[in-house]
């Protein structure tokens, strides 16, 4: 049948622009500037251990905060009347549609030393509070940008949970607390897992947020990679090696995540 051949151009495209670039990353990671095979790029990474640690730490904190804020939000939303759900969802997505750079930029002016938070606190005789250019500012930026990525998948799973399951649990004598812990929470886990990946991956790899809100003082993995490709430290071989390591770590992370929520489709909604 001819219909299958409709996919051939796309398969070629995937090979050229998705598979080939990833292979190039691997090749670059294992070669030196002169072109020979080397593992130097990986041993050179030793001095960046602190960057890895900081990136993962900040990404994990942000993911945790997103989960803590996003899960209750999703839970509350899923129980609202349909019309209200619709409006709230739209409001949740609206900032996502605005440019990512502009969203981050918005926080610059709020967190500045002379910014609104500082001045508000000053008004009450507190502060001055230094937030900008601290890890806290980076976390705030991440949470602000990625919170919908957590709330939406969780919401889309909770909203699909059959009401009669909850009612059955209540009928069988479950208190609201037990019903939540034993029924709702386990059933919403696939949404949580997909939310966690959707927040963690961009958080661990960002360089925009750290540069805008961290003032470039707290180097993250993203910054490190960016520097190797477009920055002063131009060394695409080292950059590829770092990217490769990050990719592998993220893959392992996601593998365990998927293992955890086996059999469930990704609850991605956009």
In the complex with other proteins, the residue whose CB is nearer, 192 or 211, is 211
Q: Report the site for other proteins in 113-152 (rule: CB under 8 A).
A: 114-116, 119, 144, 147
In the complex with other proteins, the residue whose CB is nearer, 70 or 192, is 70
- Segment contacting other proteins by CB under 8 A, of 14-22, 46-54, 121-129, 179-187: 14-22
Residue 40 beta carbon to other proteins: minimum distance, rounded to whole angstroms: 18
Q: Report the site for other proteins in 23-62 (rule: CB under 8 A).
A: 24-25, 28
DSSP state of 38: -
- Residue 105 near other proteins by CB under 8 A: yes
What is residue 128's three-state secondary structure?
A: coil
Write the DSSP assignment of 125-137 as a string of letters: T------TTSHHH
- CA 264, CA 267: separation in Å to the nearest integer? 8
Which among 154, 192, 188, 162 has a CA at the least distance from the CA of 77?
154
The one among 98, 126, 172, 233 contacting other proteins by CB under 8 A? 98
- Residue 2 near other proteins by CB under 8 A: yes
Q: Report the site for other proteins in 146-165 (rule: CB under 8 A).
A: 147
Distance of CA 62 to the CA centre of its chain: 8
The one among 107, 146, 149, 218 contacting other proteins by CB under 8 A? 107
In the complex with other proteins, the residue whose CB is nearer, 24 or 57, is 24
Compute the Cα dihedral for 84, 89, 91, 94 and give only its sign. Answer: negative
Number of residues this chain uses to bind other proteins (CB under 8 A): 83
Rg of the chain over all Cα atoms, to the nearest angstrom:
22
- Which residues sit opposite 37 in a β-bridge? 31
- Residue 246 near other proteins by CB under 8 A: yes
Is the bond into 134 cis (omega within 30 degrees of 0)?
A: no
């Amino acid at each position: 049948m001819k219909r299958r051949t409709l996919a051939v151009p796309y398969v070629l495209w995937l090979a050229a622009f998705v598979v080939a670039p990833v292979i190039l990353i691997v090749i670059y990671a294992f070669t030196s500037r002169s072109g020979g095979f080397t593992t130097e790029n990986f041993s050179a990474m030793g001095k960046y251990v602190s960057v890895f640690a900081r990136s993962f730490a900040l990404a994990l904190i942000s993911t945790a905060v997103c989960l803590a804020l996003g899960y209750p939000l999703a839970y509350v939303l899923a129980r609202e009347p349909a019309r209200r759900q619709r409006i709230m969802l739209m409001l949740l997505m609206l900032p996502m549609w605005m440019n990512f750079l502009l969203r981050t930029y918005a926080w610059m002016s709020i967190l500045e030393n002379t910014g609104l938070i500082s001045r508000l606190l000053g008004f009450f005789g507190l502060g001055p509070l230094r937030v900008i250019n601290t890890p806290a500012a980076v976390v705030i930026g991440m949470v602000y940008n990625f919170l919908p990525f957590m709330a939406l998948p969780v919401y889309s799973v909770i909203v699909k949970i059959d009401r009669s399951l909850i009612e059955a649990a209540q009928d069988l004598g479950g208190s609201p607390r037990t019903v939540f812990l034993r029924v709702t929470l386990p059933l919403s886990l696939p949404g949580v897992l997909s939310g966690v990946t959707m927040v963690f991956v961009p958080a661990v790899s960002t360089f925009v947020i750290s540069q805008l809100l961290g003032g470039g003082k707290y180097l993250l993995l993203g910054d490190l990679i960016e520097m190797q490709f477009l920055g002063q430290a131009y060394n695409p071989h080292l950059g590829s090696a770092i990217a490769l390591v990050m990719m592998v770590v993220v893959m392992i992370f996601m593998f365990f995540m998927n293992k955890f929520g086996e059999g469930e489709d990704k609850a991605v909604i956009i």
